[in-house]
Structure 1
Amino acid sequence: MTAHLPAPGLSALLNGPTPPGVYRLPPTQTPDQVAASAAEADWRVARLRLDGVRDKAAFLDRCPVDLEFPDWFGRNWDALADCLTDLSWWREAGKSRGYLVIAQDWAAFDKAAPDDARTAEAIFQEAVDFWADRESPLTVLLD
């Protein structure tokens, strides 16, 4: 099970000592609030909207739309890992302090397709680990 974001919460993740990771969205904050705070802290934010997503195929169909993946995304787990460890498709002019993916409605996806959710979560964790020691880390928050 994914850990909750440790105290003192989002501000420590965006500006300080909390390491990048795959965490649960703080229960006191909405995805809109988190996205706004991250943008203010110069993090690049993407929202993966999983409403109605109930299986691997639907999950992999939603990723390129919401995360704006490049055309070469192959709609499989390996391609997801490749996109999340590349991020050249996501970079804009100038530097971001970090990259944040907010996976909204994660609990419903997890309930409908627990094996697929575990696989996606493992891929998210591998990507977070890949970016952890770089100048602009990646974090994923599961809503």
Structure 2
Amino acid sequence: MTLPLPALPDASVPGLLDESVPPGAYLWEPSPDVTRVTEVLEAARAARWRCALAPLEGVTDKAGFLAACQSGMELPDWFGRNWDALADCLTDLSWWEDGDPEGYLFVLTGWADFAAAAPEDAATATDVLTAAAGFWSARDTPFAVLLG
């Protein structure tokens, strides 16, 4: 069952990186300046977080969503292009590690348009992303998802 995601104000993004804001899955409305997404990713990298961007602009279905995730996160070749495989990849990030990251940040842009075009797929994606964030909340390494 999909619960509404909390909104993360743009100004709270640094709090994710210093853990004054709990990691998790958030709706995020970055400032209109397109460079803000880039700045957030650069700040995450500077804080030694492993991060990825998946643009969802023009995505209207599950296949497009999973393809955007695969491309943006550079998912491994064994990724099965289904919800269970995405969940597996997000809860076992050994394939994504580069050294010893301080945290993980996954930013998806174009979320509102995707959710409007494919509400059932967006609900399932929300469940998968929220479950992954919940899985990581019980571990020492934070995991955050921003749906912008």
Find 2:106's aligned residue among 101, 109, 112: 101
Aligned equivalents of 2:41, 2:125: Cα separation in 1: 21
Partner of 1:2: 5
Does residue 17 of structure 1 match 2:20? yes
Matches within 5 A, 1:14-93: 14-28=17-31, 30-93=36-99
Amino acid of the structure 2 residue aligned with 1:35: L
Does residue 133 of structure 1 match 2:135? no
Match of 1:9, SS state, is helix
Higher helix share: 2
Say how many residue pairs are matched: 142
Aligned equivalents of 1:47, 1:8: Cα separation in 2: 19
Amino acid of the structure 2 residue aligned with 1:5: L
Amino acid of the structure 2 residue aligned with 1:139: A
Match of 1:69, SS state, is coil
Q: Identity of aligned pairs, percent? A: 47
TM-score of the superposition, structure 1-length normalised? 0.91
Q: In angstroms, what is the RMSD of aligned CA positions?
A: 1.6
Check conservation: 1:6, 1:18, Cα contact below 8 A: no
User: 1:93-136 deviations in whole A, cap 9, x for unaligned?
Assistant: 2x111000000111110110011011001100000011112121
1:62 CA displacement: 2.1
Gaps of 5+ in 1: none
Aligned equivalents of 1:129, 1:137: Cα separation in 2: 10
TM-score of the superposition, structure 2-length normalised? 0.89
Runs of 4+ residues deviating >4 angstroms: none
